[in-house]
Each structure stands twice: as C-alpha cells, then as structure tokens.
Amino acid sequence: MPKGQRYPDQFREEAVRVVRGSDRSIRAVAEELGLKYSTLCKWVQQAEIDDGARKGSTSEELVELKALRQEANRLRQENEFLRKAAAFFAAETDRSGRSKRSG
C-alpha cells in the first residue's frame, strides 16, 4: 500500500464495485463499509475519471504528476547545492590566487 494510503487498492475497487453494482446510495454503502461518505464519493469519482466517463486527471496521470513533482524538487535541490559549491570553489580559487600573487 503506498505511503499515506489507508485502504488497500483491492478494498477501494471492491467498494466502488458495490456502489456501481447496487441501487444503494454511496452514503449507505459508505456506512456499511465503515467509510466516510466523502472518501467513498472521491473513489467513485476517480473511478469514473479512470473509465473515461468523467473529465479529470486519471489515477495514472496523478501518479506520474506526483513523480514528476518529486523529480523537479530533487533537481532544484541538486541545482542549489551545485550553485553553492561552485560559489565556494570560486571563492577558494580567488583566495588562493591572490595569496600566491602577493607572496
């Protein structure tokens, strides 16, 4: 189960199947399964997006977007580190060049 995900994918899929396959409301199914209405509602909406019945970002696209954001953040941190390292070494080179000339 991915970090921060409270319910296994199989449970989510089964809960959505129950909603879709019955004439019971999302609220009734949520209560029966011990879920918050809003949680089950989001799962059903996401399933509709994934199936193409509703507009929005698919689960696959959301996973990819999260990975891309993490990668961008990592690259920003690496870039900042390299910028600081370059400034440090430039200052060291400048200091060592000045001390050789003056000595």
- C-alpha 14/C-alpha 40 separation (Å) is 11
- C-alpha 9/C-alpha 2 separation (Å) is 9
Do 66 and 49 share a structural domain? no
pLDDT over 70 percentage in the chain: 90
Mean predicted confidence (pLDDT) in 58-87: 97
Alpha carbon distances (Å) from 52 to 3, 25, 99, 103: 26, 22, 69, 75
Do 51 and 11 share a structural domain? yes
Residue 29 near residue 40 (C-beta atoms within 8 A)? yes
pLDDT, one tens digit per residue, over 6-44 is 899 999 999 999 999 999 999 999 999 999 999 999 999
CATH number at residue 43: 1.10.10.10
Range of the domain at 75: 57-103
pTM over 0.75: no
| pLDDT confidence bin for 62, thresholds 50/70/90 | very high
Do 69 and 44 share a structural domain? no
Total number of domains in the chain: 2
| pLDDT confidence bin for 3, thresholds 50/70/90 | low
- C-alpha 10/C-alpha 62 separation (Å) is 19
